[in-house]
Chain A
């Protein structure tokens, strides 16, 4: 087991190298010079200040300041060397602000949201999938299957907007729709503060969860249906075991195995979707940070957030592979 995990971690090194290379290429080789964009876009600020010699001069200064005048390979080397110690540099647009500090603050929002959403989708999807597989063809199955099918096709941003319309001030006025806290949340104490956070979290978590939930429970249903048809289930039924034991002891355990890998598939979708969800609900998480970076054309911020989200995804892959090896030990001997 330990050797399997070690081998799996070692395999991540070339992948990580590929990831950083891809991000670097996309950002640096794409047409458009960051300096030119910054200097022309941002009329005031550090990039232009003190530049007496016009735009060209400002661009050269900018290049020098951020090390953009060095050869590309050297830039790449410096970048990954700094990243190895989690130093993502400073923001272009707000010099002095360490990206790793800001990212850490933002992750404290995004990671809990994502984890809650993953947990919720598993908690809801497993019973739903089992139920509709066991009662295949019944009305219950038809309703849940078509309901989940519709959820599966729902665009995330639209779902968020519709929830805002429905539950926000223009609809039933039941839930807060902006941010993670009320304006006066800092005065709240103990449970009130937590309650405020929960209220604010309901709509974003719902928006983040429904897609994974729909995908997961469909997988669960298909997995159960395949297992139910196997010989050992027929044997178990033939032995005269009660239906409950057949479903929960024989079928469920085996159909859980493939569902664990689904974790690795919904994680990148969730992290990508966090851009939309955090933007729709104005939540100051990593997704919104990346989005602001794109709007402000801050190369450092965007490179940091993208790399970090890829690393998070890769960590998710690792966890799901290890879990898979635990529930199905044959894997680690292959």
Chain B
């Protein structure tokens, strides 16, 4: 471990040179709590650089935006306290028909049902379809499913009625259960019970008619609907989303909880804090995992939701509705607002009738010629800022009238994850091949070095482009893999060089003399000493991965998911008149890449302080 010792000395020397205040703290810490290891010192170096703090903070923020995207930009409301007259009406009107059907089944009896099933079976077989138990339920099952249909409708209605109004419904639920039980056991009074059920359904139809258009009472309405409380946005979160959200809360509040644990639980004892590191790391993985396992998504995550339309048309009457800060979904299309400039810009003004007041689109109203059809009038919709509000589309809209802010927030998921995952992949490949070439030398080295040379001869971007274009891969995973497998050569060369440098050193010879296997020598002894440069290269590789993906998507060969990447948003229009589509997503790519490069520079300076001026 002589090398590690030497490097630690260097780093300590650099920290001593950097500033007197910091030195005394470090010296004090060492005197009190024993030695710090190499990475401790690197961390101290990193924390002292404002540029690293800025870069790390900025990246944590960007990843937070990506992970919490559904909470920031969504067309589902967080909270909806509303009366849903439409679903009440649907349940209400189908009560009597279903009850009649149930009575009819009981009237025919089990024998009648079986005979009918036999006919149906022959029909199915004739049509060449499978005729098994699922398509031909038995007597008891058939009755139970009718009963269940009635129950869900009664529950839907009861949830919006006061307790007194719902009493009649409870009565009917009991009647349904009794009828189904009696019918299944072919009891003598089954037909009577079914008859009573139909009577009850008719009574409900007469006495529980609601004001179906919400607040305005309809003639003959006998009850008023009470609002129910729903959480549509929260319900639509998936397990994976919950995992990353909890994980990222842990990362963002790391200083807070870490400090608290160190102070109150571990008594600020340095040795105990070091011992607890692995438990903290485990907690960071396990706690989000548990949260995700306990979570149950209650709403299949569709790209768009009908809430805004239903609220606007009056199908749902809301007492209280809370939308996300940006009340637009990433796939929410709005025909009238296509290519609308940012709403703080004068050109985006819309008249009373809902047409553009000025700019290129206004003219198309008057001129008959030209390819642009007159836009549909833009209507005010529930939950959205009004038509001319400055915050409506702060970054404009795209060719389908989708809000650019929402798309950029969701697009962060694609852009950031492609950079990260492709880098993990290229580091794995590069480290494996590079360490093999550097450690073993000989013909293994010759082959691997040749391969590296061949791949490096290519303009890598060209190669990735033709591969993506001709395999017609537009999924997120293939793009990550392709970027990873064509960009590993830099890391491999780096690791190979480090291994050649370290191969002959005493600590490697010692471990080999002790009979330690190659695998263990490589991964436990040599590799940790070569990780510094790899870490630096990986940070820069994330930046170039993001650049590569955005350029691919810009050319139209990248990821084509419902969720866009920043590059594919720019691809929506290259016309200069749609300047907002080009400026904003590109600027975000620029900023992200710069933050990663800033971080990489900081890490490199911390690992190799020689180039700093003393």
Task: Give me the interface of A with B, judged by CB distance under 8 Å.
Answer: 14-15, 18-19, 22, 26-27, 30-32, 136-137, 149-150, 152-158, 161-162, 164-165, 168-170, 222, 225-226, 268-269, 271-273, 275-276, 279-280, 290-291, 294-295, 297, 299, 302, 306, 309-310, 313-314, 317
Cβ A158 vs Cβ B590 within 8 A: yes
Task: Tell me if B160 is interfacial: C-beta within 8 Å of chain A.
Answer: no
Q: How far is the CA of A273 from the CA of B547 in the complex (A)?
A: 12
Q: Which residues of A contact B593 (CB under 8 A)?
A: 153-155
Q: How far is the CA of A302 from the CA of B467 in the complex (A)?
A: 11
Q: Per a CB cutoff under 8 Å, which of A170, A225, A271, A297 touches B459?
A: A271
Q: Which residues of B contact A306 (CB under 8 A)?
A: 458, 462-463, 466
Q: How far is the CA of A294 from the CA of B469 in the complex (A)?
A: 6
4 smallest A-B Cβ distances: which pairs? A272-B459, A158-B586, A272-B461, A18-B454
Q: How far is the CA of A149 from the CA of B602 in the complex (A)?
A: 13
Task: Tell me if B516 is interfacial: C-beta within 8 Å of chain A.
Answer: no
**Minimum Cβ distance to chain A for residue B288 (Å):** 31
Q: Per a CB cutoff under 8 Å, which of A156, A165, A290, A297 touches B470?
A: A297
Q: Which residues of A contact B577 (CB under 8 A)?
A: 170
**Contacts A169-B576, A225-B611, A268-B459 known; A155 to B454 CB distance under 8 Å?**
no
Q: How far is the CA of A225 from the CA of B608 in the complex (A)?
A: 14
Task: Tell me if B82 is interfacial: C-beta within 8 Å of chain A.
Answer: no
Cβ A154 vs Cβ B471 within 8 A: no
Q: Which residues of A contact B587 (CB under 8 A)?
A: 158
**Contacts A136-B613, A153-B594, A306-B466 known; A162 to B586 CB distance under 8 Å?**
yes
Q: Which residues of B contact A313 (CB under 8 A)?
A: 457-459
10 contacts between A and B (CB under 8 A): A15-B457, A22-B455, A26-B467, A155-B590, A157-B555, A158-B590, A294-B465, A302-B470, A306-B463, A309-B458
**Contacts A162-B583, A310-B457 known; A276 to B463 CB distance under 8 Å?**
no
Q: Which of B467, B470, B590, B598 has the most CB of A within 10 A?
A: B470
Q: Which residues of A contact B601 (CB under 8 A)?
A: 149
Q: Per a CB cutoff under 8 Å, which of A26, A136, A314 touches B457?
A: A314
Chain B contact residues (Cβ within 8 angstroms of A): what range? 35 or more
Cβ A137 vs Cβ B459 within 8 A: no
Interface residues of B in 589-604 (CB under 8 A from A): 589-590, 593-594, 597-598, 601
Q: How far is the CA of A299 from the CA of B471 in the complex (A)?
A: 12
**Contacts A32-B470, A156-B551, A306-B463 known; A165 to B583 CB distance under 8 Å?**
yes
**Contacts A158-B582, A161-B570, A165-B576 known; A19 to B466 CB distance under 8 Å?**
no
Task: Give me the interface of B with A, judged by CB distance under 8 Å.
Answer: 450-451, 453-463, 465-467, 469-472, 543, 547, 550-551, 554-555, 557, 567, 570, 574, 576-577, 579, 582-583, 586-587, 589-590, 593-594, 597-598, 601, 611, 613
Q: Which residues of A contact B465 (CB under 8 A)?
A: 275, 290, 294
Cβ A276 vs Cβ B453 within 8 A: no
Q: Per a CB cutoff under 8 Å, which of B454, B455, B570, B597 touches A158?
A: B570
Q: Which residues of B contact A161 (CB under 8 A)?
A: 570, 574, 582, 586
Q: Which residues of B contact A268 (CB under 8 A)?
A: 456-460
Q: Which residues of B contact A150 (CB under 8 A)?
A: 594
Cβ B470 vs Cβ A309 within 8 A: no
**Extra contacts besides A15-B450, A154-B590 (17): CB < 8 Å:** A18-B451, A19-B458, A26-B470, A155-B586, A155-B593, A161-B574, A161-B586, A162-B582, A165-B582, A165-B583, A222-B611, A272-B462, A275-B461, A275-B555, A294-B469, A294-B557, A313-B458
**Minimum Cβ distance to chain B for residue A175 (Å):** 13
**Minimum Cβ distance to chain B for residue A126 (Å):** 19
